[in-house]
A and B are shown apart, each in its own frame.
Chain A
Amino acid sequence: MSERGVRAGVRRLFRLALHRPDWAADEADAELESVLQERVDFLVSGGMAPDAARAEALGRLGDSIHGARARLQHSAERRERHLMLSEWLDDLLTDGRYALRSLRRSPAVATAAILTLALAIGANTAIFSAVNAVMIRPLPFQQPDRLVALWEKNPDFHWYQEDAAPANYIDWQEQVSAFADVAAYPSFPGTVTLTGSGAPRLLPAQVVTGNFFEVLGIRPFLGRTLRPSETWSTGGPSAAVLSYRCWRDVFGADRGLVGRTVQLDGQSVEVAGVLPERFAYPGLDVDVWQAVGWDPTARTQVWFRRAHFVRTVARLKPGATAESANAAFQAVVTRLEHDYPATNTHMGAGLTPLHDFLIGSTRLPLLVMFGSVAVLLLIACANVGNLLLVRAAGREREAALRLALGAGRGRLVRMAFAESLVLATLGGAAGVALGGWGTRILVAMQPPGMLPVQDLSMNWGVLAYAVAGTALSALLFGIAPAVWMGRRIPADALHEEGRTASGSLRSGRLGDAILVCQVALAIALTLGAGLLVRSYLVLQGVAPGFESQGVLAVRIVLPGIRFDSTRKVLSFYDELEARARALPGVEAAALVSQVPLGPPSWSSQFSIAGHPTPDQGTQAIHRELSREYHKVMRVPLLRGRFITDADRREAPYVVLINETLARTYFQGENPIGQRVAFDRIPDSMSTWRTIIGVVADERQASLAESPQPEFVAPYSQEARSAMTLLVRTRGDPATLGPAVRQIVAQLDPGLAISSMQTMDEVRMASLARDRFLTALLLSFALVGVVLGLVGVYGVVAQLARRRTREMGIRIALGARVGQVQWIVVRHGVVVTLLGVALGVGAALATTGALRTLLYHVAPTDPATFVLVPLLALVTSALASWLPAIRVSRADPSDVLRSD
């Protein structure tokens, strides 16, 4: 306590300084009493009577006894609180400084640990940014939890969460009292061409009902949003609302833009307003918002209830719950089914919270990515833990010495944790920086439309996750060395002469346990990734039914305002096709309303002349195309004939069917010559088409989906204003691009090309999601495997080092080199085997979650479950062999002489 030592006659019984605010009050009372008593003793020894002395002592207090007590209790408590904090900070600083110093002494270990952690935490931060943006962050609308999506279902067509028919939507809006309001928007994305300022520019566009922004509770940044009355067309001038991004980037953030007219698709449209910057609707990356402007007479027409193409957003009335709203909703749905049997038979409907509905299919891939990256962090923690454990074991003498010199065991544990914490902090900081970078890579690499949210910026939630992840990893990988430090027995370490000791073996066992877990995690992760790889390979090998190589696809959308008649549309496309066919190197050219593996095509119900109306609905995709389509795509004809030039507009209506349709609806019959109408129950208004041929199946929506029944009709008999030009060439189709662009510009300088891709690109793009997820998981798994192998190598090398002496003796006694090596390798293999067993068990329990992501591969795919563990065993045996070779090379005489 004092440099000058203990004063004569004073016996001190020092207790540990206890900084505990709740004890401070008692302590203050005791101290006050002791001072009073000392004074009393002093006065009494001077001759005063005890009572008088007591009174005098109280008098010298300067306060009443109660007042003094209270004052001192208060000041003592304050002191303790303050001291406790500063003591804690002090120790933290000391430990931190010590940890830094000791880590600097082994820079290789420190660098390896920090890099491993930085990578793992960085990957976690990036993936969590996506999870946060898509799943956690509330939608940027007013009271987003009061919004639900309404959808239709029909068991006849295997419909679930399907688009609604607009007439049904309008009835829901008007008749379900539990909804404050319901908005809708067609589910197909659109584009508009902006002209009048420089080159024609294609902007992503969406039409919505007039009340759309009102339902979401979005106030405009400038001007106004759309008006509910604009849902119905009045023939007046139309208005558009622009995204903030469009206003800023296309119109130079001109505040005077509102109220002015711009040329969209050759039509004058008034800019009514600009949306706020933070407005974003998941899945709709749109610059130009316009009202649907439905024809008011459409309400009573049957197609308005037959065609299912709108998505809806409803806001619940205050007080209404999802359950009560659904009950009211179902009553209306049932009534509609009864009132409109022609269109609404078996047509059910349901509601889902809007957020869940919009993220839909993104949820599972995201969760899989998130789970994998979390496993990766665990693997990294195991690695760092083992690294630190090896280091701690190497410093057992230092630890023993500290203990012998009086350091508490708790203090040693804390020191070990401080090291972990310093490593984690450095790794975490680097990881967050890497994560910011990784997020940008993620956004850049994700297939278009995979994440329905564009803004993945880092926010407090992400940062909190990174910090929590860092702290958790410090705790995880800090446990092993801390436990190790805590249970060291000082005596044997100090007495040890050599390096081999029972203690090392114990640290080895702890290390083995960690390694088993690490291998198990890596195996489970790799099995998951392996399943996805297998599935991807199967999927990639699926024959699409057409030959994608050598074909260029150019999408052109004709603005209806200028191409207002079928004649104009047909003459444009005919001319385009003729000129494209005349290009040098072109084998064939055709037009099609939708390319396969692209955006979904229209589908409708149909009936066959002479066939009874089936109880279950009939549903078929229909596409329109020109004569040479099957030549361009090399789709074979199975029966009948192809479309010819004779199938003009004036000629009898004809149609081709695909193999699946022929098989499904004409079992044993010859379909050629039969007639079909695109109505479930045909009437006098129905158009009848004659089947002229059967073509082979093409995959339609995706390679993963088996072909659906399909009709293809000559486009000249069913004109569409949006068509894709397909050109087959002998060379590289991409080189045709400039020539096609030139043709389009010559035909109509006001047209922008919507998209230009080779069919190979279309095919690859249709697999983009699967490829992205597979590649991401595979790279996580690879990192996990590498970390696992490094772990095996590290543990086995440590074992080899400890047993070098023993091996030397064995060799000196005549053991063969192979035998000695096997002792070392066996250890690595046994540990790996245990890990593999555990990992396979864990994978079997969890890969079921991947089921819907897998194509024709079972979650327990035997090939994957044999191959991955086998590879793991072989590679870990190799990793164990390296240290084994070194041991067996050691000269026995050197080994025996050392130590």
Chain B
Amino acid sequence: MALLKGTLDVLVLKALSWGPLHGFEITRWLEARADGQLIIEDAALLQALHRLEERGLLKAEWGVTENNRRARYYALTPAGRTKLKREMESVLQSVAALTGILAVRTPSQGGAR
């Protein structure tokens, strides 16, 4: 399943709300929670991280992973936390609206079934 346009940012923020993670950890966290239904391209993810950091929603520092490898760790800033809250509400609202619309049964299709 491809990602709904514009939702990657909010998903990244959500993933980081539990604590600092490096790029691959974020992918793994998201893919684990999506039951393998979600595919995130690494380049797009890293680009999103750069963008979020530029806007001051994330801060980053170099650290060492469990495999003793250098990695860039990202964490939410207070601004990022606020942003996550607002974005989550708006995404959930629009998903609810979409779900509501798509749940309406279409008569002709219903007849064919």
**Footprint of B on A, CB under 8 Å?**
1-2, 4, 7, 9-15, 17, 27-28, 30-32, 34-39, 41-42, 57, 60-63, 67-68, 71-72, 75-76, 78-79, 82-83, 86
Task: Name the distance in Å between A864's Cβ and chain B's nearest Cβ.
Answer: 64
**Known contacts A14-B62, A57-B42, A79-B51; can you find 14 more A-B pairs with CB under 8 A?**
A1-B20, A1-B59, A7-B19, A13-B62, A14-B61, A28-B46, A38-B23, A39-B24, A67-B43, A71-B47, A72-B43, A72-B47, A72-B50, A75-B50
Q: Which residues of A contact B27 (CB under 8 A)?
A: 35, 39
Out of A4, A31, A75, name the residue touching B19 (CB < 8 Å). Answer: A4
- Contact: A10 with B65, CB < 8 Å? yes
B46: nearest chain-A partner, CB-CB = A72
- Contact: A86 with B56, CB < 8 Å? yes
Q: Does B87 contact A (CB under 8 A)?
A: no
A8: nearest chain-B partner, CB-CB = B66
- Contact: B43 with A71, CB < 8 Å? yes
Out of B22, B43, B53, B70, name the residue touching A61 (CB < 8 Å). Answer: B43
Please list 10 pairs of residues, one from A and one from B, whose beta carbons are closer than 8 Å in the complex, sorted by A's number: A12-B64, A17-B61, A34-B70, A34-B71, A38-B69, A39-B27, A72-B50, A79-B51, A82-B54, A86-B56
Which B residues, 5 to 33, have Cβ-Cβ distances below 8 Å to chain A?
Answer: 19-20, 22-25, 27-28
- Contact: B43 with A12, CB < 8 Å? no
Instruction: Report the bound CA distance from A842 to B51 in whole Å.
Output: 59
Instruction: Report the bound CA distance from A657 to B110 in whole Å.
Output: 132
Given contacts A10-B65, A13-B63, A35-B24, contact A76 B50 (CB under 8 A): yes
Q: Which residues of A contact B106 (CB under 8 A)?
A: none
Task: Name the distance in Å between B64's Cβ and chain A's nearest Cβ.
Answer: 5
Q: Which residues of B contact A2 (CB under 8 A)?
A: 19-20, 75
Return the 8 tightest CB-CB contacts between A and B, nearest first.
A62-B41, A38-B24, A68-B43, A79-B54, A75-B50, A12-B63, A35-B23, A63-B43
Instruction: Report the bound CA distance from A142 to B28 in whole Å.
Output: 73
Out of B22, B50, B73, name the residue touching A79 (CB < 8 Å). Answer: B50
Task: Name the distance in Å between A42's Cβ and chain B's nearest Cβ.
Answer: 7
- Contact: B46 with A31, CB < 8 Å? yes
Task: Name the distance in Å between A643's Cβ and chain B's nearest Cβ.
Answer: 95
B39: nearest chain-A partner, CB-CB = A60
- Contact: A14 with B63, CB < 8 Å? yes
Q: Which residues of B contact A35 (CB under 8 A)?
A: 22-24, 27, 42, 46, 71
- Contact: A31 with B67, CB < 8 Å? no
- Contact: B42 with A62, CB < 8 Å? yes
Task: Name the distance in Å between B16's Cβ and chain A's nearest Cβ.
Answer: 9
Residue interface mask B57-100, A partner, CB < 8 A = 1 = 00111111111011111010000000000000000000000000
Q: Does B44 contact A (CB under 8 A)?
A: yes
- Contact: B24 with A42, CB < 8 Å? yes
Per the CB 8 Å criterion, the residue count for chain B at the interface is 35
Given contacts A1-B61, A7-B20, A13-B62, contact A34 B46 (CB under 8 A): no
Given contacts A4-B19, A61-B42, A72-B43, contact A9 B53 (CB under 8 A): no
Q: Which residues of B contact A63 (CB under 8 A)?
A: 41, 43
User: SS class of chain A's interface: helix, strand, loop or mixed?
Assistant: helix
Task: Name the distance in Å between B46's Cβ and chain A's nearest Cβ.
Answer: 5
By CB atoms of chain B within 10 A, which of A30, A42, A61, A75 has the most? A75
- Contact: A61 with B41, CB < 8 Å? yes
Q: Which residues of A contact B66 (CB under 8 A)?
A: 9-10
Q: Which residues of B contact A28 (CB under 8 A)?
A: 46, 50
- Contact: A83 with B61, CB < 8 Å? no
Out of A31, A57, A61, A67, name the residue touching B72 (CB < 8 Å). Answer: A31
A-B contact count (CB 8 A): 117
- Contact: B53 with A83, CB < 8 Å? yes
Instruction: Report the bound CA distance from A151 to B50 in whole Å.
Output: 72
Instruction: Report the bound CA distance from A34 to B71 in whole Å.
Output: 6
- Contact: A39 with B42, CB < 8 Å? yes
Out of A9, A38, A83, A86, name the residue touching B22 (CB < 8 Å). Answer: A38
Instruction: Report the bound CA distance from A769 to B51 in whole Å.
Output: 67
Q: Which residues of B contact A62 (CB under 8 A)?
A: 41-44
- Contact: B62 with A15, CB < 8 Å? yes
- Contact: A78 with B54, CB < 8 Å? yes
- Contact: B47 with A75, CB < 8 Å? yes
Q: Which residues of B contact A37 (CB under 8 A)?
A: 69
A69: nearest chain-B partner, CB-CB = B43
Out of B50, B51, B67, B73, name the residue touching A38 (CB < 8 Å). Answer: B67
Q: Which residues of A contact B39 (CB under 8 A)?
A: 60
Q: Which residues of B contact A15 (CB under 8 A)?
A: 61-62
Q: Which residues of B contact A4 (CB under 8 A)?
A: 19
Task: Name the distance in Å between A45's Cβ and chain B's nearest Cβ.
Answer: 9
- Contact: B67 with A41, CB < 8 Å? yes
Task: Name the distance in Å between A86's Cβ and chain B's nearest Cβ.
Answer: 7
Instruction: Report the bound CA distance from A400 to B65 in whole Å.
Output: 38
Instruction: Report the bound CA distance from A308 to B69 in whole Å.
Output: 94
- Contact: B42 with A79, CB < 8 Å? no
B55: nearest chain-A partner, CB-CB = A82
- Contact: A13 with B51, CB < 8 Å? no
Q: Which residues of B contact A75 (CB under 8 A)?
A: 46-47, 50-51, 54
Q: Which residues of A contact B59 (CB under 8 A)?
A: 1, 17
Given contacts A1-B73, A38-B71, A76-B50, contact A68 B42 (CB under 8 A): yes
Q: Which residues of A contact B53 (CB under 8 A)?
A: 79, 83
Out of A7, A36, A78, A86, name the residue touching B42 (CB < 8 Å). Answer: A36
Q: Which residues of A contact B73 (CB under 8 A)?
A: 1, 12
A90: nearest chain-B partner, CB-CB = B56
Given contacts A7-B19, A13-B63, contact A1 B75 (CB under 8 A): yes
Task: Name the distance in Å between A59's Cβ and chain B's nearest Cβ.
Answer: 10
Task: Name the distance in Å between B36's Cβ and chain A's nearest Cβ.
Answer: 13
Out of B28, B51, B62, name the residue touching A42 (CB < 8 Å). Answer: B28
Q: Which residues of A contact B71 (CB under 8 A)?
A: 31, 34-35, 38
Task: Name the distance in Å between B20's Cβ and chain A's nearest Cβ.
Answer: 5
- Contact: A13 with B64, CB < 8 Å? yes
By CB atoms of chain A within 10 A, which of B20, B43, B69 has the most? B43
Task: Name the distance in Å between A693's Cβ and chain B's nearest Cβ.
Answer: 96
Instruction: Report the bound CA distance from A31 to B66 in whole Å.
Output: 16
Q: Which residues of B contact A1 (CB under 8 A)?
A: 20, 59, 61, 73, 75
Task: Name the distance in Å between A374's Cβ and chain B's nearest Cβ.
Answer: 44
Out of B46, B62, B63, B65, name the residue touching A32 (CB < 8 Å). Answer: B46
Instruction: Report the bound CA distance from A688 to B67 in whole Å.
Output: 120
Out of A10, A27, A42, name the residue touching B63 (CB < 8 Å). Answer: A10
Instruction: Report the bound CA distance from A78 to B53 in whole Å.
Output: 11
Instruction: Report the bound CA distance from A60 to B28 in whole Å.
Output: 12
B19: nearest chain-A partner, CB-CB = A4
B56: nearest chain-A partner, CB-CB = A86
Given contacts A2-B75, A12-B64, contact A34 B22 (CB under 8 A): yes
Q: Which residues of A contact B44 (CB under 8 A)?
A: 62
B41: nearest chain-A partner, CB-CB = A62
Task: Name the distance in Å between B108's Cβ and chain A's nearest Cβ.
Answer: 38
Instruction: Report the bound CA distance from A27 to B42 in whole Å.
Output: 16
- Contact: A78 with B50, CB < 8 Å? yes
A7: nearest chain-B partner, CB-CB = B19
B44: nearest chain-A partner, CB-CB = A62
